[in-house]
Every structure is written in structure tokens, then in C-alpha cells.
């Protein structure tokens, strides 16, 4: 038997109801802002999980070759063959990652384009050429990262990531059992009833909510403010390299990410320079540089960025699915000696954890199992979005957006806002967007017909 008086019991029920309404209201706002982006990222992310398989199928005419018993041609021969088809200056050579894969030569043409020329490593004939990073999966990757929408998109990534965490947190509160007999881990009713979609939404969110938060956090390294600052904090005092890596050589100021795809931890890494040569000194050439990378044990499929000036270097980099095989080596173009040689083991603790999370995020760490798990999560995200839309459609008032009602006592927002404040400090752009949304919500409540001004 309860010790509360009837009045106290009523106040407790009202407070609980008010908190529920406040959380529901912000869950609605978070969904309104985030779900369109989550659908796009789920579709593109689900496809990108199988990038090698899809690109290998769609671009088999230029990426696949017949395996032969004869030895492959020398890299310089493959580059010369590519330049006969696409005149210009070779800037990068990519080693075939498998015996049935073509070699890729990136050529900077005289008209300012960058072309990827694919060459049969056994015969030396050019299989085809297309603009660099123009395959189907590169297009999907740019859509997933919002890169097509300019530098502002990197800020949107942070905002969406922060709001996604808020969406999951408020969703968990709304799901929390409050004496109901069903809808906790089971789905009631049929698709014609709103309760079916409510339960499908809640149970799906319960199953994949933690994974969604993980994907949101591991996507943050590519954000503009949070990702940039964390990268700078982790590596900014060592020419963009993790602390402890030997970089006591002159640096060019050019970033590794400007010459080849690179790991997040090395986006700010600078490329060293070769000591100015003595009179008559000659560069070792691509063949000797590739031989040096082979001796150093770089994983198959590495890319070699060629020097573009007398003080340039040969930069070999590779980022395979196996994190332990990540490697970047810069060679003096005259002596062939390594100037900087680093691997995943050289990253700091934060760099290793973030790279591990990124590898999981991209479906690489545990092979097919990793891919299939994330594909199921992407499907779950789409189901969450669809069920949220159906629920809203079935409950929406006519001629209204259907925002959940305000709590009777607006002061209940204060505790919620404290939590939002902490999130805003951790993710600044998300915090700014929260303030904007709060201001809009106050304005709507103040000036909606029949509404009365009230303090939050």
C-alpha cells in the first residue's frame, strides 16, 4: 500500500507525465532533423560495405585480368604504357592488390584532370581510363560523407551525429517499461494499427540503438570541429604524425591526404622532403622504389606517390582491412633510404582506438560477419525511419505538424536541458543547433494561436 497522500500521488503522476512529454517532444525534434540524413547514410553505407565486391563487378572490364604464369611487368613499363594512352605526368602508381587485379596509374593531364589508367600487369596493355575516383563506389562514398555538398557538410556530420545520440537516448527513455503488458520486446497488432508500428519502432530501436550510437561516434572523426580538433590534439605537435614517430627530417608542408587516400590519424601528416641532391645525382626511379617497398614488407595493393620536384619523395601507403598492416613509408628519391616509416603500432592510444572504431564502422575489421551485421543495422535504421513516419501519419492532427504536446509544467525541461548542455559542450556544433532548435520551439509556443508565453 502506498504511503503517498492522494494529492502527492497526483503530483507524482503529473511530474512523470510532464517528463515523458518533454522527452517525447525532443525525441520528435531529433527525429525530424536526423532521420532524412540517417536514411541516406543507411542506404549509402549499406552499399559501401561491399565496395570491393560491387566495384569489382561493375568495373570488371578495367579492374580484373586473367591470371598468368608469367611474371608481371616492371612498374616503369606499366607507367610508360599508361602514358602512351593518356599523355601527361604520372603522379601515383598502385600495386595490384591481387593476382587477378589490374595495376592503376594516376596521370595528371595537361588540361588539369587526374585520370586513373588501368593496365594489365602481365601484358602491359591499357584496359581503360576514367577520371580519378569516379567509380560507382567512390560516388557512393562521397554521398555517404556528404562531400558533394561542400565543406559545410563536415559540420552537418557532427550535428547529425550528436542529434542521433540524443535520439537514441530519448528513445530508450520512451521505451522503458511502465507496466504495459506488451510492446517491450514483442510487436502487437497488425500493420493496419498504429500500435504495430509503435512496437516495431520501439523494439527495433532497442535492438540496434547501441549500434547506432557506436556508428554516430565513430563517424565523428570526419566532422569539421570535433574531428578536426581531436586529430589536431592527438597529432598536431608532430607534423601530423602520432607522438613518438621519428620525423626529424625536413618537411614540405604538403599533406599526405592530398596525394593519396589515408587513414584518419594521418589526415594532417606532412610529407618530408629529400635533401637537395649533389650535382649529377639521379633519382632511383620507380622500379627501385617499388623494390624497396617490397623489401620493407608493405602489404599488397599499396600506392606509391611519385616525387614531383627535385626535393620530392616516394611515398608508399597502404590501408588494408587488417589494421596491423597499415603502413606509410617515405623514401629519399636519391638514396632510397626511408625518411619516415610508421605503422598502426606507432599510433597513440587514442589513434589506435579511433582507427579500430573506424575499421568496424567501414565493415572491415571482421570480414563478412562485420559486413552482414552492419547491413542488418542499416536495414534496421530504415525500418525505424519508416515506422516513425507511419506513426506520425496515423496520429497527426489535421493542418498541423503534430509536435508532441508541451508538459503542463515547463520547468521540467530544466533537467533535460542540463543533459543537452553537456552534449553541446562535447560536440560544439550539436550544441549550437540545440540552442537554435530551443529558440524555435520557444517562438512557436509563444506565437502559436492560443498559446501563452511561458518560461522554460
**Distances from the Cα of 67 to the Cα of 64, 103, 122, 125, 304, angstroms:** 9, 13, 8, 14, 23
Higher-confidence residue of 360 and 10: namely 360
What are the structural domains, with CATH classification, of the chain? 6-49+146-222+368-447 (no CATH), 60-134 (3.10.450.40), 244-347 (no CATH)
With 90 as the cut, is the pLDDT of residue 292 above it?
Answer: yes
Q: Give, in order, the Cα–Cα distances in Å from 321 to each of 84, 325, 358, 371, 400.
A: 34, 8, 11, 12, 49
> What phi and psi values does residue 288 have, to the nearest 5 degrees?
-70, -35
Mean pLDDT of the 28-51 span: 93
3-state SS assignment for residue 127: strand
* Per-residue pLDDT tens digits for 67-111: 999 999 999 999 999 999 999 999 999 999 999 999 999 999 999
Contact between 293 and 316 under an 8 Å Cβ cutoff? The reply is yes
Q: What is the mean pLDDT of residues 182-188?
A: 84
CA–CA dist 125, 102 (Å, integer): 10
Question: Which comes out higher in pLDDT, residue 438 or 46?
Answer: 46
Closest CA to 158 of 217, 244, 94, 231: 217
Mean pLDDT of 350-379: 94
The whole-number pLDDT of residue 453 equals 41
Give the HSE-up count for residue 234: Cα atoms under 13 Å, Cβ half-sphere.
25
DSSP alpha helix (H) spans, 349-366: 349-361
Cell of 42: 543507411
Cα dist. 246→192, 275, 328 in Å?
65, 17, 13
pLDDT at 455: 37
Average pLDDT over residues 120-149: 93
* CA-to-CA separations, 110 to 86, 90, 107, 231, in angstroms, rounded: 10, 11, 10, 35
Which of 154, 157, 25 has the alpha carbon at shortest distance from 440? Answer: 25
Extended strands (E) in 222-269: 251-255
**DSSP annotation string for 34-97:** HHHHHHHHHHHHHHHTTHHHHHHHHTHHHHB----SSPPPPHHHHHHHHHHHS-SEEEEEE--S
Q: Which residue has the higher pLDDT, 259 or 236?
A: 259
SS3 assignment, position 131: strand
- DSSP helix/strand/coil, 170: helix
The residue among 441 and 354 whose pLDDT is bigger is 354
d(CA 420, CA 163): 10
3-state secondary structure (DSSP) of residue 316: strand
Residues in the chain: 456
Beta-strand ranges (E) seen in 273-393 are 303-305, 313-318, 327-332, 338-343
Provide CB contacts within 8 A for 411, sequence distance 6+: 455, 456
Amino acid at each position: 500500500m502506498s504511503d503517498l497522500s492522494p494529492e502527492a500521488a497526483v503530483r507524482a503522476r503529473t511530474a512523470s507525465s510532464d517528463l515523458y512529454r518533454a522527452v517525447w517532444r525532443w525525441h520528435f525534434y531529433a527525429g525530424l532533423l536526423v532521420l532524412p540524413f540517417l536514411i541516406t547514410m543507411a542506404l549509402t553505407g549499406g552499399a559501401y560495405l561491399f565496395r570491393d565486391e560491387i566495384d569489382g563487378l561493375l568495373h570488371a572490364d578495367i579492374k580484373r585480368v586473367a591470371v598468368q604464369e608469367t611474371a608481371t611487368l616492371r612498374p616503369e613499363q606499366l607507367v610508360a604504357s599508361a602514358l602512351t594512352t593518356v599523355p601527361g605526368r604520372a603522379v601515383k602508381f598502385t600495386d595490384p592488390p591481387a593476382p587477378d587485379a589490374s595495376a592503376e596509374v594516376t596521370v595528371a593531364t595537361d588540361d588539369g584532370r587526374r585520370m586513373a589508367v588501368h593496365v594489365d600487369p602481365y601484358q602491359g596493355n591499357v584496359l581503360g581510363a576514367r577520371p580519378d575516383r569516379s567509380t560507382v563506389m567512390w560516388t557512393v562514398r562521397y554521398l555517404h560523407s556528404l562531400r558533394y555538398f561542400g565543406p559545410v557538410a563536415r559540420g552537418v556530420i557532427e550535428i547529425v551525429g550528436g542529434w542521433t545520440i540524443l535520439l537514441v537516448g530519448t528513445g530508450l527513455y520512451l521505451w522503458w517499461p511502465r507496466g504495459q503488458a506488451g510492446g517491450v520486446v514483442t510487436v502487437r497488432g497488425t500493420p493496419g494499427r498504429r500500435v504495430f508500428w509503435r512496437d516495431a519502432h520501439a523494439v527495433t530501436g532497442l535492438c540496434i540503438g547501441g549500434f547506432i550510437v557506436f556508428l554516430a561516434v565513430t563517424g565523428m572523426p570526419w566532422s569539421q570541429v570535433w574531428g578536426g580538433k581531436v586529430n589536431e590534439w592527438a597529432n598536431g605537435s608532430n607534423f601530423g604524425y602520432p607522438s613518438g614517430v621519428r620525423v626529424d627530417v625536413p618537411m614540405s608542408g604538403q599533406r599526405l591526404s592530398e596525394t593519396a587516400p589515408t587513414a584518419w590519424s594521418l589526415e594532417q601528416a606532412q610529407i618530408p622532403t629529400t635533401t637537395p641532391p649533389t650535382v649529377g645525382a639521379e633519382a632511383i626511379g620507380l622500379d627501385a622504389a617499388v623494390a624497396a617497398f617490397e623489401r620493407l614488407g608493405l602489404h599488397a595493393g599499396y600506392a606509391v606517390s611519385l616525387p614531383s620536384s627535385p626535393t620530392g619523395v616516394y611515398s608508399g601507403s597502404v590501408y588494408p582491412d587488417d589494421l596491423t598492416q597499415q603502413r606509410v613509408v617515405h623514401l629519399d628519391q636519391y638514396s632510397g633510404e626511408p625518411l619516415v616509416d610508421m605503422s598502426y603500432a606507432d599510433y597513440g592510444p587514442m589513434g589506435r582506438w579511433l582507427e579500430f572504431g573506424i575499421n568496424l564502422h567501414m565493415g572491415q575489421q571482421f570480414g563478412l560477419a562485420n559486413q552482414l551485421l552492419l547491413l542488418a543495422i542499416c536495414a534496421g535504421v530504415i525500418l525505424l525511419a519508416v515506422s516513425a513516419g507511419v506513426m506520425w501519419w496515423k496520429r497527426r492532427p489535421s493542418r498541423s505538424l503534430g509536435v508532441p504536446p508541451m508538459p503542463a509544467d515547463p520547468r521540467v525541461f530544466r533537467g533535460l536541458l542540463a543533459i543537452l548542455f553537456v552534449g553541446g559542450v562535447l560536440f560544439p556544433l550539436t550544441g549550437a543547433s540545440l540552442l537554435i532548435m530551443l529558440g524555435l520551439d520557444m517562438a512557436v509556443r509563444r506565437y502559436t494561436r492560443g498559446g501563452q508565453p511561458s518560461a522554460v
